Amino acid sequence: MRRRLLLMVPALLASLAAARAQGPNWIVDGAWVKPSLEGALNSVAYFTLVNRTGSADRLLAVTTPVAARAELHRDEMKDGVMAMRATGPLALAPGARVVLAPGGFYLMLIGLKQPLRPGDHFPVTLTFEHSAPLTVELPVLAGPPS
């Protein structure tokens, strides 16, 4: 048993090296955060998330030091009224691309601890069901990046 474990180690190291060489398993693209309005405690962040891990996963939670909470929301018409609702965990099949953009999904930053001004940037950490947590830096911009 012991011998077998030892033999497995080089294979494991080789697969870790291969994984690293392949680059990021998740791609976060086109990120931007709306500047907070004067005195506002909330703002919204947008980005595109692409699953390049090769396996299905779920985005379970998002955290950031600049807000008390960060939740995935979606605006929906319900009984003729536009309302937002929390989406809960976001399932991403292998190769799936989820676009957070005005009019659809977005990341709601709730309880801002500081104003967000154009030119600022701050980290958010994405926690997945299977993948290691991913921390990315989001820029505060007056509008979508071109």
Binding site for Cu ion (CB under 5 A): 73, 84, 108
CB of 106 to Cu ion, least distance (A): 7
**How far apart are alpha carbons 92 and 52 in whole angstroms?**
10
Please calculate the CA angle 24-94-56 and round it to the nearest 5 degrees: 100
CB of 74 to Cu ion, least distance (A): 8
Nearer to Cu ion, 69 or 130 (CB): 69
Find how far residue 52's CA is from the centre of its chain.
14
CB of 84 to Cu ion, least distance (A): 4
Nearer to Cu ion, 33 or 108 (CB): 108
Nearer to Cu ion, 84 or 93 (CB): 84
